[in-house]
Amino acid sequence: MAEERAAAEIPGTPEFRAVRVVIIGLMLGLMLSSLDFVIVAAAMRTVADQLHGQTVQAWATTAYMVTSTIATPLFGKLSDLYGRKKLYILAIGIFLVGSLLCGLAGSMYQLAAYRALQGIGGGGLTALAFAIMGDILTPELRARYQVWFSAVSAIAGVAGAPIGGLFAGADTLLGIDGWRWAFLINLPIGVAALVVVHLKFTMPGKKREQRIDYSGAAWLVVCLGPWLVVSEQGRHWGWGSPLTLSLLVIGLVGLVLFLATERRMADAAVIPLRLFRNRMFTVINGANVIIGIGVFGSLIFLPLYLQLVKGQSPGEAGMMLILQTAGVLTTSRGLSKVINRSGRYRAFLLLGMGTVAGALFAFASLDQESPLWLAGALIYVLGAGVGVCFPVALLALQNNSAKEDMGVSSAAYSFFRGIGGAAGTALFLSMMFSLADSRIADAVAKVDRSTEFRAALNDPSVLANPANVPVMETVKGTGGINLDDTSFLLTADPRLTAPVVNGIADAMSAVFLAGGCVMLIGFGLAFLLPKRAKEPEAPQVGVPESESAVS
């Protein structure tokens, strides 16, 4: 292995060419997971409308995030037992099967189930790509090829949203519903990655015996699953109903059994509990959960805000979301060197969280009449804050972990960020649709006396348009708006839809406000960190920008 690594550094040698081909295969795999979140987020409004499940779309997002979060550390340990290549190919295969099924889904609940399967593969792709790179490359080559991986993240962030918007905006593409290509696009990329890795990755990894914490992962699912169900359905069942309380108790039992299992499994646990004796580890991961809740839970609303409130097409919204990636890249590029030199983790974490909180509070003040340029500026600022938060959390963990804990600390970073993201997405989407009905009713009551609105109600052409029926029923008090399918907003009379849009905007403002408050909790938590690391370490090889990007 050492000789092969050395030969891989010499241009023109077979080993050098083989390594480059394998790296391309790894980049294709990372492209899958990086593109997926951005493309699906940009297309989700159309996907949910087509599947008549706008109000339950949280399932499709959280299912992926939970399974990928749990699968990430498990794939890393399984690869030590059975080899990186086999597990990487398995991860790509699972991801592709999940993507194909997502493209065939007939309901939001089916889509959620298939996204859960897809997430298992996505967790494996994330866990194994950098492990394989560590197997086949010397530290010097890792630094060189890191630029390639950073380019993948940047391309995915810039191209993903417009591609998702393009697919969502197309009625059909090659005879298939346009939105389904948001998932089917993964198939050719994944097949290419499979072929390259299968044919060219021949360098064996060193196997070692590992205990796999299957029971801990299972109890974590028992803990998180019921709580996510309650966050989504509690508003329908009633927060004090027997079913809601029963699921909360089941989740609590799952949490207790998970902690007991982690203690028994010691270093083989999904997250070894001994790491929490380290103050830096505990505080950073607490902040990491908050970052996941505030950032992912709020960012999922950006394409919804642009399409539902500002009336943009999916393609236009996708182009606007490039500003978010631009903000991330602006602050994340080169930030690792500055942080490592200064050792001021607290200051940078406060800067990042303060920026995100400020952007979210500013979003909460926007309404339907707010200028589009202001929304674009805030999207950029929000991305800039995210570009600070994620790298500083990862660096603080890595630079303050023992060498033998480097892998598990990095896995914990992804784990807690993913858990926070899943919780934030479920809670905030549930909050928005819980508020939307009452906010829409309030907006209709306020506008009911306006001349323009009354004129629309008496216009024969308005009465003859089927797209106006949902709004008309709400105005007459004979029915409520069904937000599972919001496509009527595209064709209904804008004089009638104005109060609906304003009601949705008010509900979203409440969500952005809640997101800002959550980030303020993390802002306070960051003060528990020391002002400066006691012994700043030399700069790491580099923080993968894929870790700092939202995707």
Cβ-count burial of 239 within 10 angstroms (0-12 exposed, 13-18 middle, 19+ buried)?
Answer: exposed
Task: Take residue 348 and report the two structure tokens written for it.
Answer: 């940078």
Cβ-count burial of 277 within 10 angstroms (0-12 exposed, 13-18 middle, 19+ buried)?
Answer: exposed
pLDDT of residue 319: 87
For residue 134, what pLDDT band results from cuts at 50, 70 and 90?
low
Give 307's DSSP letter: I
pLDDT at 551 over 50: no
Mean pLDDT across the stretch 486-510? 83
Mean pLDDT across the stretch 389-412? 73
Q: How many Å apart are CA 407 and CA 237, to the nearest integer?
A: 42
Q: Please report which residue ranges of 333-371 form alpha helices under DSSP H.
A: 335-342, 345-364
Mean pLDDT across the stretch 407-423? 78
Weakest mean pLDDT among 387-391, 407-411, 523-527, 531-535:
531-535
**More confidently predicted of 403 and 15:** 403
pLDDT of residue 151: 67
pLDDT at 147 over 90: no
Of these ranges, 95-109, 127-141, 164-178, the one predicted with the greatest mean pLDDT is 95-109
Mean pLDDT across the stretch 473-479? 59
pLDDT at 381 over 90: yes
Q: How many Å apart are CA 100 and CA 340, to the nearest integer?
A: 43
Weakest mean pLDDT among 140-149, 329-338, 376-385:
140-149
For residue 547, what pLDDT band results from cuts at 50, 70 and 90?
very low
Which structural domains are found in the chain, ordered by start?
1-201 (1.20.1250.20), 214-269 (no CATH), 439-507 (no CATH)
pLDDT at 163 over 90: no
Report CA-CA distances (Å) from 403 to 63, 101, 211, 390, 400.
Answer: 33, 41, 20, 21, 9
pLDDT of residue 380: 92
Asked if 517 and 3 touch (Cβ cutoff 8 Å), the reply is no
For residue 336, what pLDDT band results from cuts at 50, 70 and 90?
low
pLDDT of residue 16: 55
pLDDT at 118 over 90: yes
pLDDT of residue 356: 92
pLDDT of residue 548: 41
**More confidently predicted of 102 and 369:** 102
The per-residue pLDDT for range 51-72, each reduced to its tens digit, is: 988 878 888 888 888 888 888 8
Q: How many Å apart are CA 121 and CA 8, to the nearest integer?
A: 29
Cα 256 vs. chain centroid, distance in angstroms? 27
Decide: helix, strand or coil at residue 7: helix
Share of the chain above pLDDT 90, in %: 14
Weakest mean pLDDT among 20-29, 89-98, 264-273, 465-474:
465-474
pLDDT at 102 over 90: yes
pLDDT of residue 101: 95
Mean pLDDT across the stretch 234-247? 82
Q: How many Å apart are CA 311 and CA 292, to the nearest integer?
A: 28
**More confidently predicted of 15 and 67:** 67
Q: How many Å apart are CA 49 and CA 182, to the nearest integer?
A: 15
pLDDT of residue 549: 43
Mean pLDDT across the stretch 287-292? 88
pLDDT of residue 13: 47
On average, the pLDDT of the chain sits at 79
**More confidently predicted of 28 and 352:** 352
